[in-house]
Structure 1
Amino acid sequence: MSRKIDASRRNFLRNASVMSLVGASGVPFALNLLTMGAAAAQTTSDYKAIVCLFLSGGNDHANTVLATDPTSWTSYTSVRTTSEAGSIALPAVGMAGGILPVVPNTVQTGREFGLHPSLGPLKDLFDAGRAGIVANVGPLIMPTTRAQYRAQSVALPPKLFSHNDQQSLWQSYKPEGATFGWGGRMGDLLASMNTNTTFTSISASGNAVFLAGQTINQYQVNASGAVPIGGITGSLFGAPAGSNPLQAIVAGSRANVFERDHAAIVKRSIDAQGVLSTAMLPAGASGVADPTQYTNPNTGALANNSLATQLQTVARVIGGRGGLGARRQIFFVSMGGFDTHDFEKTNHSDLMAKLAHALSYFDTTLSTLGGADLRSQVTLFTASDFGRTFTSNGDGTDHGWGSHHFVVGGAVKGKDIYGTFPVTGLNHDQDVGSGSLLPAISVDQYGGTMAKWFGLSDTQIADVFPNIVNFPNRDLGFMA
């Protein structure tokens, strides 16, 4: 009985605080929020979220997921061992600090596999069946052979090997200048499942074309939560009531059509900030536990992990899904530093440690979020500008094309590698130069598989991923 009374008291206080936060001008918005609570129990069981983790700069896939069978390992070491000082080859399985072996459920004859030595926590997720690997993914318009690529006899993605263009292409099918992405388009189609569509598409890492829809706008948050407009609440220049006239100025009614539209946008921003600040769980022991520090594998020093902090923010928003009336949400987080032309072995090792630490933290956090295990309702996937060349420039690598990626979550059919793992070495059928991989799986297939789990119909998937009609296998099978 005491639990019911406490819960009712908490709901009352939360609803009352919403009213005080948004003020009189936001009463309709606040009243709309109050109706969300009544439906929360019905919507949260049907809740699903997709999280895009973008590795900016182009992750070196060949030192992330490796083939370790004798033939592959001989090719790997012969190409990537450049000099004792500049070698980018990793230590073998069984050596000190060596590659971590993984055994996928599906046998690829004659092949053995491993992960970067810094990916221990991610290996644990893989072995537990909550992480899978999708091999050799990249932007494609249609299935393409090396001969067709060389002859330019089929349509190819534009501006390959360019950072800005390939980041945009991964997120939106178009080079730099695109106005909407496939995460935003999924939001467009499923936003009606949310009581308040404002919180459908959320970035914890600044502006991302991935989240921009044709009708849905992305909402940006940071480690402090919703980003407020300065001076709208509290005192202003020492005057306790100074924020009231400022709010009337920036969000009041106007006769001019442009001023009226601007004021309406500002007012929505003020209202939304109040709603999200109240709904999302707090950081720390009373809400979503702060991430521990990770260990830098090069120095042994403990340090903060900004990626884990971004994922904490995502978890805090997910924890407030009932108060937001959300049943479908798309998130974006990112980490940079992957353009490893120099000092790759050292820098990439640190990046892999941060990645694995953050993913393990997110998995643990979701397992008890608000007293519920939400891991089967949240799927995270990695993306990156491109893979990198298999050859080295001395102590780094250059821009490539295809790359291996991770999908993490309780709904993932984990402990497996999806797609045929490419030949390790040079001058094979998927080498378009210097060991840069010609993708065997398109971004459309990769995203379309998650979109199906997310609830999109085949027709909607074809709308979101316009090139998927060119591929016979539209569901890669890695989602339950």
Structure 2
Amino acid sequence: MDRREFLKSGLLGLALSQAPTLLWRTAAAAPLGEKILVVVQLSGGNDQLNTLIPHRQELYYRLRPRLAVPTREVLDLDGRLGLHPALKPLAPLYEAGRLALIPQVGYPNPSRSHFVSMDIWHTADPERRAHTGWLGRVLDGEQDPLCETHLGTSTPLALTGSQAVAPSVASLEGFELRIQGPLRSLWEEGLSRPRQGEAEAVRQAFLRLKASLAQVGRARGVKNRVGYPSHPFGQALADVARMIAAELPTRVFYVSLGSFDTHADQPNRHEDLLGVLAQGLAAFHQEMRLLGRERDVLVLGFSEFGRRVAENASYGTDHGKAGLMFALGPVRGGILGPEPNLEDLDEGDLKFQTDFRSVYAAALRFLGVDPSAILPGAPAPFPLV
């Protein structure tokens, strides 16, 4: 190999090391009617009882003398349960049948450890034998992979397969390949020349990368039609909406909001987080409606566990077990589960009534994926959509 060939090969390696993580294979843009899943992770353990509030139960107020949301402030839903007032932007969606609330979701033999429980939710394996994520297994199993994107800085386990890893995009504006000056010309020239063996495989990978970056570039040219909260979570949802509007091939998006680990000073922190969540989701749903995609896009939210029923001495709540999931979009709206029984607890925690894997199975079926191939041994799909 002469000096010029060596330089070109080195530039390819340099570019690869500096490129953002991106799917190496491109696909046709997802047309109208293609189903899209947006997963929202509430990191840290969201408190179900102060999100979906049993405001008619005297025991709720007795066990939480300082933290309980006053009845007069609760957004009543059915005479028994109601939303935290910070979730007011979601109330019209609930009334329209676009919001589903699934209380007491969990798994057998629950763990109060952030690490263990999040690992279980990401792999969808309560036995902790799986090493791949539930959505990563979808990516592995497709002939033309289901394109998945994480809006954030580090791809979560849920999107990690044995053969492929979904990309992480911190922001659309910063998502580009940066090669300066003459190095760019050499890189382009190197891509234009067919090679042999491994060098040709590298060249083809970069051609796919270049095509994918061009697709993302289209999304950068799309403007949001509604306003989003000036918070990283709100901006992530805004980017998801732009990518959908640009008809990128992504079928699964993943965003996170945290931290819901409210051991101390819970009321203000929880109110702020729920406010950001509600404002972001309401804006996103409005934009999907304006795009004509409200029946194509399912938003599914979870947290690794709930909080303990009784408040602690630090004006907060400690790690619990069962918690709340929600779904927004083309769903069977309403409260899809029983009111919590505060007289019958699991070591001071809410008992789980719905296995989270059944909700995952419903989301997979919405996407047109066979749940049994991705979630072996899981319960039947939850009647969500």
If the TM-score is normalised by the length of the shorter chain, which range does it land in?
A: 0.7 to 0.9
SS at the partner of 1:118? Answer: helix
Partner SS for 1:365: helix
Contact between 2:238 and 2:284, CA under 8 Å: does it hold in 1? yes
For 2:326 and 2:32, the matched residues in 1 are separated by: 26
Q: 1:318 deviation in Å?
A: 1.1
Alignment of 1:205-354 (within 5 A): 205-206=152-153, 207-225=155-173, 227-231=175-179, 236=180, 239=181, 241-246=182-187, 257=198, 265-278=205-218, 280=219, 282-283=221-222, 287-289=223-225, 291-293=227-229, 304-321=230-247, 324=248, 326=249, 329-354=251-276
Q: How far apart, in 2, do the equivalents of 1:179 and 1:265 lie?
A: 26
Q: Secondary structure at the match of 2:104?
A: strand
- 5+ unaligned residues in a row in structure 1: which ranges? 1-31, 82-86, 104-110, 141-155, 294-303
Q: Which amino acid counterpart does residue 124 of structure 1 have in structure 2?
A: P
Q: Structure 2: which amino acid aligns with 1:50?
A: L
**2: CA distance between counterparts of 1:252 and 1:91?**
70
Q: Is contact 2:361–2:375 with CA below 8 Å preserved after alignment?
A: yes
Residue type at the aligned position of 1:60: D
1:445 pairs with one of 345, 358, 362: 358
Q: What is the distance in 2 between the residues matched to 1:288 and 1:63?
A: 32
Is residue 2:376 matched to residue 1:466? Answer: yes
Q: 1:163 aligns with which of 90, 96, 114?
A: 114
Contact 1:225 1:313 in 2 (8 A): no
Q: 1:397 and 2:317 equivalent?
A: yes
Please show how residues 68-107 of structure 1 align to structure 2 within 5 Å: 68-69=55-56, 72=57, 74-81=58-65, 87-92=66-71, 94=72, 98-103=73-78
Letter of the 2:214 counterpart: G
Secondary structure of 1:77's counterpart equals helix
2:303 is matched with 384
1:59 and 2:46 equivalent?
yes
Residue of structure 1 in register with 2:382 after alignment: 476
Alpha carbons 1:211, 1:331 under 8 Å: kept: no
Cα distance, 1:173 vs structure 2: 2.4
From the superposition, tell whether residues 315 and 191 of structure 1 become closer, same or farther in structure 2 (CA, over 3 Å): farther
- Rounded to whole Å, the distance in 1 between the matches of 2:335 and 2:131 is 33
How far residue 253 of structure 1 moved from its aligned partner, in angstroms, is: 7.6
Tell me if structure 1 keeps the 8 A contact 2:86–2:271.
yes
| Distance (whole Å) between structure 1 residues aligned to residue 174 and residue 36 of structure 2 | 19
What per-residue deviation string (whole Å, max 9, x for no partner) do you get for residues 268-316 of structure 1?
33332123213x2635xxx3236244xxxxxxxxxx2221211111111
| AA aligned opposite 2:381 | D
Cα deviation per residue 1:304-352 (whole Å; 9 max; x = unaligned)?
222121111111111122xx4x4x7011000111011111011001001
- Residues 59 and 386, structure 1, Cα contact 8 Å, conserved in 2: yes
SS in 2 for 1:223: coil
Matched, 1:355 2:355: no
Distance between the aligned counterparts of 2:368 and 2:354, measured in 1?
22
Q: Is the 8 A contact 1:220 1:227 kept in 2?
A: no
Contact 1:132 1:412 in 2 (8 A): yes
The residue that corresponds to 2:17 in the other structure is none
State the 1:214 CA deviation: 3.8
User: Secondary structure of the equivalent of 1:125?
Assistant: helix
* Inter-partner Cα distance in structure 1 for 2:240 and 2:143: 18
* Equivalent pair of 2:360/2:381 in contact (CA under 8 Å): no
**What is the CA–CA distance in structure 1 between the aligned matches of 2:286 and 2:245, rounded to whole Å?**
14
Matched, 1:201 2:142: no
Decide whether aligned partners of structure 1 residues 78 and 413 sit closer, same or farther in structure 2, where only a CA change above 3 A counts. Answer: same
Contact 2:86–2:278 (CA<8 Å) still a contact in 1?
A: yes
Q: Which runs of 4+ in 1 moved over 4 A?
A: 174-179, 188-191, 246-257, 259-267
Residues 134/289 of structure 1: CA separation in 2 closer, same or farther (3 Å cut): same
Contact 1:386–1:402 (Cα < 8 Å) also in 2: yes
What is the identity percentage for the equivalent residue pairs of Structure 1 and Structure 2? 25
Q: CA deviation at 1:466?
A: 1.9
Larger radius of gyration: 1
| d(CA) in 2 for partners of 1:189, 1:273 | 24
Structure 1 residues 224 and 112: alpha-carbon distance in aligned structure 2, compared to 1, 3 A threshold: same
> Any idea what SS the aligned residue of 2:371 has?
helix
- In 1: Cα distance, 2:206 partner to 2:112 partner: 39
2:172 corresponds to 1:185: no
Q: 2: CA distance between counterparts of 1:318 and 1:46?
A: 12
Q: Secondary structure at the match of 1:53?
A: strand
Give RMSD over aligned pairs.
2.9
Q: Which moved more, 1:347-356 or 1:385-394?
A: 385-394
Equivalent position amino acid for 1:79 in 2: L
Structure 2 counterpart of 1:432? 346
Contact kept, 8 Å, 1:312 with 1:362, in 2: the verdict is: yes
- Does the residue aligned with 1:475 lie in a helix, a strand or coil? coil
Distance apart, 1:46 and its partner CA: 3.0
